Amino acid sequence: MGHKRTFTIPGFQFAGISAGIKESHLSDLALIRSYPAATVVGAFTTNRIQAAPILVSKRNIRSGRCSAVIINSGNANACTGKRGLRDTERMVAITARTLKVPSRQVLVCSTGKIGVPLPIDRLVRGIPKAVRSLDKRKMMAAARAILTTDKGPKVAFASGKIGGKKFRIAGFAKGAGMIEPHLATMLAFFVTDLSIERRLLNKIFQESVDQTFNRITVDGDTSTNDTVLLLANGVAQNKKISPGSRAAFLFQKKLREVMEELALKIVEDGEGATKCVRIEVRGARNEEEARKVCYAVGNSPLVKTSFYGEDPNWGRILAAAGRSGATLTPETADIYYNEVCVMRRGVSTGSHLEFRAAKVMERGQFHVTIDLRRGKGSFWIWASDLTEDYVKLNSHYRT
């Protein structure tokens, strides 16, 4: 997987500028342009409170084609009533008119403070400026322009060959807080020059999202604005890809690599986070019960603070699992930090093993495994720790 600072995908251009939304005057307006128009699929927040850009993008994505995505940061345009919808429609209209594309082929995303009207006049001036700034080498500029509390831009790239034709996938994302499965304050954009039929593209996309972005948690909160989009413009001119084929498998493998890299970067960049922990539950009665335990443990403030304190407090893990609603009995359960078993059959394995587990927790990334010994169900997620910096940041930053 590439780690260059300049990513280019044939047929795509990018821009990232300052439209004056953020008081810091940092860049706050990003644009993705596809020529020709790309096949598009997406996933949106499951929060019942949905921001105006979510409503408009969910409508426009039904066309199946996308020529542009316009994204602002610093203002979520959520809970802003009819004005918010009008402002979103205006962003779409100006982008479409300036690029000379149909408005139904323009998607829009926003992230930032909730309940504050967009400074639409600044966006009216900023969008044409972003169009003039478009360049195939400016993905990193676009990645910077969508940030809020993130430490820095998150980008990833992969490539492969299908029928002798090279294809490329690139993605960039933002997200550091309000991260829960089923999308949270998270925006992620993926572009590829692959040619692929939309139904198959959507199947591969949804499966990949479920295995990556829907397996992370920072603080258990879910946002009003989450969006993940995938645009495929077909410039690679590869042969038709059939469901179940080696070509479809290769594309899904590469897409998942890029998504997983960005999903992990989001957890690692969690607000104030110092640890990235893979929590795996196995031996549950079924996958759904394993999932319940994973999220109960991964979202527990007591467990997360123990990660930060590098304290292998397995009692907190067991207590969180016990309130998950899953069927379990302590007398059959084991808990591990990496390969170190700190609880077997519901009792401690001794202070010497807890000492070894504490050493494991000194690493920035480690695994916690909970074996319930009740069946064959399993599930895993990535979670962050919980620190003083998270509290400080969220007491001073208004979402």
Are 56 and 137 in a shared domain?
yes
Rounded alpha-carbon distances, angstroms, from residue 270 to 13, 61, 184, 275: 29, 29, 12, 9
- Which one of 216, 233, 268 terminates a domain? 268
Taking each helix axis as running N to C, give the angle between helix 287-298 and helix 301-308, from 0 to 180 degrees, rounded to the nearest 10. Answer: 60
User: Is 321 buried (19+), middle (13-18) or exposed (0-12) by CB count in 10 A?
Assistant: buried
Contacts of residue 76, Cβ cutoff 8 Å, sequence gap at least 6 = 51, 110, 111, 112, 113, 114, 116, 223, 224, 225, 399
Are 288 and 247 in a shared domain?
no
- Judge whether 210 lies within some domain: yes
Lowest mean pLDDT among 77-86, 268-277, 382-391: 268-277
Are 156 and 67 in a shared domain?
yes
Are 124 and 260 in a shared domain?
yes
Are 206 and 281 in a shared domain?
no
DSSP letter string, 183-226: --S-EEEEEE-----HHHHHHHHHHHHHHTGGGEESSS---S--
- Judge whether 6 lies within some domain: no
CATH number at residue 51: 3.60.70.12
Are 79 and 225 in a shared domain?
yes
Number of domain units in the chain = 2
Position 5 scores a pLDDT of: 57
CATH number at residue 286: 3.10.20.340
- Which one of 268, 295, 311 terminates a domain? 268
| Residue among 80, 95, 148, 185 flagged as catalytic | 185
- Judge whether 4 lies within some domain: no
Confidence bin at 392 (pLDDT 50/70/90): confident
Position 394 scores a pLDDT of: 63
Are 114 and 193 in a shared domain?
yes
Structural domain containing residue 387 = 276-396
3-state secondary structure of 318: helix
Is-above-0.75 flag for pTM?
A: yes
Q: What is the chain's percent helix, strand, coil content, to nearest 5? A: 35, 30, 35
Mean pLDDT of 72-90: 96
Lowest mean pLDDT among 177-186, 229-238, 267-276, 387-396: 177-186
Confidence bin at 3 (pLDDT 50/70/90): very low
Are 294 and 220 in a shared domain?
no
- Judge whether 113 lies within some domain: yes
Are 356 and 234 in a shared domain?
no
- Which one of 248, 268, 288 terminates a domain? 268
Position 271 scores a pLDDT of: 67
Handedness of CA 387, 393, 396, 397 (dihedral sign): negative
Does the annotation count 80 as an active-site position? Answer: no
- Judge whether 44 lies within some domain: yes
- Judge whether 7 lies within some domain: no
What is the distance between the alpha carbons of residues 52 and 45, in angstroms, rounded to a whole number? Answer: 12
Mean per-residue pLDDT of the chain: 92
CA atoms within 13 A on the CB side of 234: 17
Are 65 and 152 in a shared domain?
yes
Are 146 and 294 in a shared domain?
no
- Judge whether 299 lies within some domain: yes
- Judge whether 118 lies within some domain: yes
More confident residue, 150 or 212: 212
Are 19 and 94 in a shared domain?
yes
